[in-house]
Amino acid sequence: MSYLINHIDPLFVLCGILVGAIVGFTGVGGGSLMTPILILVFGVNPSTAVGTDLLYAAITNASGSAVHGANKTINWKVVGRLALGSVPMTALSILLLYKLGVDSKASHEIVTKVLGFALLITAVLLFMRKPLLKWYEAHVPEVNPKAVARLTTLTGALLGVLVTLSSVGAGAIGVTMLVMLYPKMPARQIVGSDLAHAVPLTLLAGLGHTLLGSIDMHILISLLCGSLPAIVVASVASARMSDTIVRVTLGIVLLIVVLRFWFL
């Protein structure tokens, strides 16, 4: 217990509360906010920030996935298709960081640029998800099941790369792609399936970063102390509040962060 208390930093606890509250209200924003904050505010090495955030995400997402599993709102066939693409690409992305050297200039460049790209896509989806989905439904014909299966695996592969290198994309990008590929699937199953896939994806990527030595347990423990209770409280409160302002504000913040990363 004393070890745990000695490794709690109040500033990182506050950071966890902030991000946890936003995730609870909007359902997105974990990786897209946490990693930039660790890098830009606290000056954490990009690879360490990504690796620490991945384990943080695996732990926080596990509780939500357990709830969806208990409520039977997870389509395990879809999860399997996503994992078929994400698992090998996660391994290859970790291997790439290993070959380049996790603290090398090349790794720094790759992580920051991929992070900027992932944040840009996330910000656009925060603003444009509803009109984009309406346009898709009106103009794109129904895709045959075999093509849907292949595209789901391709989506998993894309998420494997983005999440491993940036810790961003499992939420906003994953959900949007699943809604497009499975328009008849209930919304709860879309969210539950994406969340169920995010747990092993972030855990595998996080363990890979652990082997590379790019995890800071001091930061991880402090973030979890703040975020876990904040997510619970915000999730309960979100049922009575509109999250539109939070989503728009988050999108604007992410666009600003994108410019910062692209011009590092």
pLDDT digits (tens, 9 = 90+) for 15-52: 988 888 877 666 566 777 888 889 888 999 999 999 99
**How many CA atoms are closer than 13 Å to the CA of 166, on its beta-carbon side?**
28
Distance between CA 66 and CA 71 in Å, rounded? Answer: 9
pLDDT digits (tens, 9 = 90+) for 48-107: 999 999 999 888 878 777 777 887 889 999 999 999 999 999 999 999 999 998 888 888
Instruction: Name the phi and psi angles at 123, rounded to 5.
Output: -65, -45
What's the pTM value of the predicted model, to 2 decimals?
Answer: 0.84
Q: Structural domain tally of the chain?
A: 1
What residues make up the domain containing 16? 2-262
Instruction: Name the phi and psi angles at 59, rounded to 5.
Output: -70, -45
